[in-house]
Structure formats: C-alpha cells, structure tokens
Amino acid sequence: MAVSSAPGKVYLFGEHAVVYGEPAVPCAIEVRAQVGVEQRSDSKLRIHAEDLSLDGFTVEYGGTAGSPPDVDVSESLLTAAMGYVDVAIEHVRDVTGEDDVGFDVTIESDIPLGAGLGSSAAVVVAAIDAGTRELGTTLEIDELAERAYQTESAVQSGEASRADTFCSATGGAVRVEGDDCRMLEAPDLPIVVGFDGGAGDTGQLVAGVRSLREEYSFASDTVEAIGDIVRKGERALERGDIEELGRLMNFNHGLLGALGVSSRSLDSMVWAARNAGAHGAKLTGAGGGGCIVALDPSDETETALSYTPGCRDAFRAELAETGVRRIE
C-alpha cells in the first residue's frame, strides 16, 4: 500500500475572478486529506471513506450507529467527492499504462467537503500520488499538479482553475493566473478559519457569477477590481505586511458580496472576526456557505467565532510548507 497526504488551502485573494483570467493567491494550510491506495488482484475499484463506501456504481452512505457523519453534507456531495477519485484513478492507469489494474482506496480527510478549503483537490492530489507510487512511479510535482488539475477540470465540466490543485501539490502560498502557476515567498501568516457547517455548490455559484457578468457591466468591473486587489495583495505578501493584507482581504470580501456569492453566515463570521480585531477577513472558495479566513495573531478571533451564531467550528491553521507528503 502507498499512502500520501495533501493539504487543503484558503484563498487569500482572487477566487471567482481567477475563472476569468485574473490572478489568484491561494495558500496551503495544515489541514490534510490522506489517501491510501493498494493494488487488488482484480480490476475493481473500491473506495472507502469514513461513512461512505463505494464499490463500482453502488454507493452506501449513512452514519453507522455510534459513528454519525462528522460533517453535515449531503449524500450527493459525498458521491461527487467519490467521482473525483474515480477520475484520479483513471490518471493513475494512464500514467503507468496499467489499464486493467484494480485498487482499494481509503480516504481520511480533516477537510470539510465543499466548504472552500480545497477538499477535492487535496483528495485528488493524494490519490494520484499514492496510486502512481503503488505501481512504482513517482511523479514530479509539476506533473502531479497537472494531472490533478485535469481531474478536477473533467469532473467540473471544464469550470476549474489550477489554483486548488497546484497549491495542494506544492504547498506554500502560490500565484495562479491562467496556466501560469508559481510559488510565492510568504511570511508565517496568523490564519484563523471559521466554518459554518455547510457547503456551497461551486458549479452553481460559478454559473451565477457568469450570468451576472453577462447581464451587468458592474460585475465584469468587479471581477477586474478583484484582479487589482490580488496584484496589490501579492506585493503585501512579499513584504510581509499583514495589516495591508488584512485590509485587502476585507475589500476582496466586499467585492465577492457584490457578485452575490457570500451568505448570511459567512458575513456574520467575517464581521465577528473584524470586530474581534482581526486584520481582515473574507470568505474563501466558491462561497454560498462553508468557510471564512481571517488574519489574527491573537486568540480573539477564534474565541469570538466560537460564540458567533452560524459558526460551527473555528480553528487556527498553520501555513502548510509542504504540499504532497509521501507517508508510506
């Protein structure tokens, strides 16, 4: 068996706008998905994930007595997560030229699904890495990131940027603009995450921004304005100017709100963080529900979030300096 893990991420800047060619700056965090892949003697694919098991096309889901699902997510979301693994394994077969090989795949993830922390990217990166290593091939990080991106893109019908998968493969803070991805120098950021217990539908939210952009010119201007914030944010990151980073994150959140992708619980958590003295706070990822990211070196934001109605969980997240980790 080969086991790899890969980190989730927060968007410091640029989600949604990145879909239209603006840059984005995601940053990997030490919250990981771990995937074990073991070759089978037949050509079947069996996927085990906590309360979910998937064998061929049969999905069984439901908390067993005494071990209810940890996170409130719908069955369809979990099924979708398994769809990513299916395509990831196709890439493993393609890379190694072993078309008929079957696998047992075990997923353990601390990253809430569909909540803006890059859960699917982390699972895909770890699955491709462990799967190829199980067959004796170790991929270069660039190829791993490329294969992981192709996987997300196929599952999301072409509506995926390279941001999540590249960041999860490399770790650290990265800059993504179209096909151009690179790592950035970043200081140790005081990241706090707030999670509302829910999830947004990335496809629907991306489609919503697309139609808003077609109908209203303010929406395309907003996307461009987000691009300007990202460029300023990159420079602030390189200078290690946390105050300016926070201010720019606040602006970015306001613009995402104008694009209609925030929600009451995300806004409540953002305001709770700001009132607690965070340098800045914004939603991360597609929005609609899920997580916010705040910058606060003190414990105030985490404490305030834990009392904020609508916040299910709040935690400090270290920047993940390593991306994919080869465990076994």
Q: Which residues bind ligand PMV (CB under 6 A)?
A: 15-16, 18-19, 116, 118, 160-161, 163-164, 202, 206, 285-286
Q: Is 132 or 262 the residue whose CB approaches ligand PMV more closely?
A: 262
Residue 157 DSSP one-character state: T
Distance CA 317, CA 31 (A): 7
Residue 103 Cβ vs ligand PMV, minimum distance, rounded to whole Å: 25
H-state helical runs in 101-140 = 119-134
Binding-site residues from annotation for ATP: 112-122
How many of the other CB atoms lie within 10 Å of CB of 220? 13
Residue 121 Cβ vs ligand PMV, minimum distance, rounded to whole Å: 7
Residue 164 Cβ vs ligand PMV, minimum distance, rounded to whole Å: 6
Q: Is 155 or 304 the residue whose CB approaches ligand PMV more closely?
A: 155
H-state helical runs in 97-216 = 119-134, 141-155, 163-170, 202-215
Q: Is 15 or 296 the residue whose CB approaches ligand PMV more closely?
A: 15
- Strand 58-61 relative to strand 180-184: parallel, antiparallel, unpaired? unpaired
Structure tokens at 88: 């990831």
Residue 255 Cβ vs ligand PMV, minimum distance, rounded to whole Å: 13
Contact status, residue 6 vs residue 122, Cβ threshold 8 Å: yes
Residue 119 Cβ vs ligand PMV, minimum distance, rounded to whole Å: 8
**C-alpha closest to that of 29 among 151, 150, 167:** 167
Residue 129 annotated as catalytic: no
Catalytic one among 55, 70, 142, 164? 164
Q: What's the Rg (C-alpha) of the chain?
A: 19
Distance CA 233, CA 251 (A): 11
What is the torsional sign of CA 160, 12, 294, 50?
Answer: positive
What is the torsional sign of CA 272, 16, 76, 129?
Answer: negative
Residue written as token pair 């047992």: 104
Contact status, residue 49 vs residue 86, Cβ threshold 8 Å: no
Nearest residue to ligand PMV by CB is: 285
Q: Is 248 or 256 the residue whose CB approaches ligand PMV more closely?
A: 256
Binding-site residues from annotation: 112-122
Helix (H, G, I), strand (E, B) or coil at 177: strand
Q: Is 36 or 194 the residue whose CB approaches ligand PMV more closely?
A: 194
Q: Which residues are catalytic?
A: 164
